[in-house]
Amino acid sequence: MKLVIQRVKQARVTVGGETVARIGRGAVILVGASRGDTPEDVRYLARKTAQLRIHDDEAGRLNKALAPGEGEFLVVSQFTLYGDCRHGNRPSYMQAAPPEQAAPLCEAFAAELEHLGYGVQRGRFGEMMLVELTNDGPVTILLESTGRTAP
């Protein structure tokens, strides 16, 4: 799995003009699932996301994780994170998980964050979404489950 995590002051997702998700302070998390991803990848990335120290501490340094109740997460599926542009100009999405595999993995990721005590909003899997956000910092972090050293 691949994640793009953006610290935000606020964010929302609309589908067909309807707001389907909205958060205040927290993070927008774009989630890309690959063909080889497992429930272990989901758990690893959810724990890593929850423990990311990308918020300001009392000294104004990026040294604090978002505690439950201090903000929310907005999880949005994003298969294009697996776009491979090494050959030509049209991305190949061969490594992206098919929808029937990716949808449960994205939902499991959001559910795991909820299990850890966080408020979680979700985009709509497979829909054309408009994601609006106020990037805070800006702070943007990339995380992947491949190559991890601990489960």
- What tens digit of pLDDT does each residue of 106-132 get? 999 999 999 999 999 999 999 999 999
The residue among 150, 140, 148 whose CA lies nearest residue 30 is 140
Report the domain count for the chain: 1
- What tens digit of pLDDT does each residue of 16-71 get? 999 999 999 999 999 999 999 999 999 999 999 999 999 999 998 999 999 999 99
Residue 73 has pLDDT above 60, yes or no: yes
Query: Is the residue at 150 inside a domain?
Result: no
- H-run or E-run covering 19: strand 18-23
Query: Is the residue at 47 inside a domain?
Result: yes
Query: Is the residue at 126 inside a domain?
Result: yes
Query: Is the residue at 51 inside a domain?
Result: yes
Q: Which residue has the tokens 């610290």?
A: 7
Query: Is the residue at 76 inside a domain?
Result: yes
Query: Is the residue at 151 inside a domain?
Result: no
Catalytic residue (one of 38, 80, 134, 146): 80
CB atoms within 10 A of CB 19: 11
Query: Is the residue at 110 inside a domain?
Result: yes
Residue 151 has pLDDT above 50, yes or no: no
Catalytic residue (one of 6, 14, 49, 78): 78
Q: Is residue 149 annotated as part of the catalytic site, yes or no?
A: no
Residue 93 belongs to domain spanning: 2-144
Residue 150 has pLDDT above 70, yes or no: no
Query: Is the residue at 80 inside a domain?
Result: yes
Q: Is residue 78 annotated as part of the catalytic site, yes or no?
A: yes
pLDDT band at 149 (very low <50, low <70, confident <90, very high): low
Which amino acid is located at 43 in the chain? R
Catalytic residue (one of 6, 14, 73, 79): 79
Tokens standing for residue 143: 């995380």
Q: What is the pTM of this model?
A: 0.94
Q: What is the pLDDT of residue 146?
A: 86
- HEC string for 76-138: EECHHHHCECCCCCCCECCCECCHHHHHHHHHHHHHHHHHCCCEEEECCCCCCCEEEEEEEEE
Q: What is the CATH number of the domain that holds 81?
A: 3.50.80.10
**In contact, 58 and 105? CB cutoff 8 Å:** no
